[in-house]
A and B are shown apart, each in its own frame.
Chain A
Amino acid sequence: DTEVTQTPKHLVMGMTNKKSLKCEQHMGHRAMYWYKQKAKKPPELMFVYSYEKLSINESVPSRFSPECPNSSLLNLHLHALQPEDSALYLCASSQIERLQQYFGPGTRLTVL
């Protein structure tokens, strides 16, 4: 299995909703990443987990809360988002940090 999967593909939520994005890989990778990508811009790194521990938090607002319950799963919990948080959220994984990353298809999030 050489795939990174993300669910859901699309998500529409209100500013008061609580939702979660999920990312899964079964390649035995020990580093996992969350990126945010606005239209026609490159991805922006949000969080890095290395061996299930938060390694990098790029000053992301607390309304985004990552969680890594085990080495295959990465969640991003969303609460009280703003319309400007609407974007494509990409998950990636690599064997360890700083090696080649494999990307999921992304979740397209719209905040109303």
Chain B
Amino acid sequence: KNEVEQSPQNLTAQEGEFITINCSYSVGISALHWLQQHPGGGIVSLFMLSSGKKKHGRLIATINIQEKHSSLHITASHPRDSAVYICAVIGDDKIIFGKGTRLHILP
């Protein structure tokens, strides 16, 4: 079993839909990253959180440390949100990446 599991692996939705991507982990962590990677390859760090909830524009990230679970939500999704979203957890001495969720928003 992978130490970081993301779901779904792939997600196609219509423009305007509310999107949720989930990340579960099995190791102790100090913080969790949500990253966005567009087809060109560059990675953008969206959030780093260790408790509670953070919001930036249409993006919201939550984490429940007790349940070892985090979610990334996108409100009013847009085709430009199409990308791979990667969850990465920061443990004692390493960073562990999930396999990513490939999101495709149709116009």
Write the residues of chain A forming the contact surface with B, with a CB cutoff of 8 angstroms. Answer: 37, 41-45, 56, 88, 90, 92, 98-106, 108
Contacts and interface: CB of A to CB of B under 8 A. Distances in A.
Contacts of A56: 93-94
Interface of B: 30-31, 33, 35, 40-45, 48, 86, 88, 90, 93-95, 97-100
Given A42-B98, A45-B94, A98 B31 contact: yes
Q: Is the interface of B mostly helix, strand, loop or mixed?
A: strand
B48 A99 contact: yes
Nearest to A44: B97
B45 A101 contact: yes
B39 to A, nearest CB: 11
A41 B94 CA distance: 18
B43 A100 contact: no
Nearest to B92: A98
Contacts of A37: 41
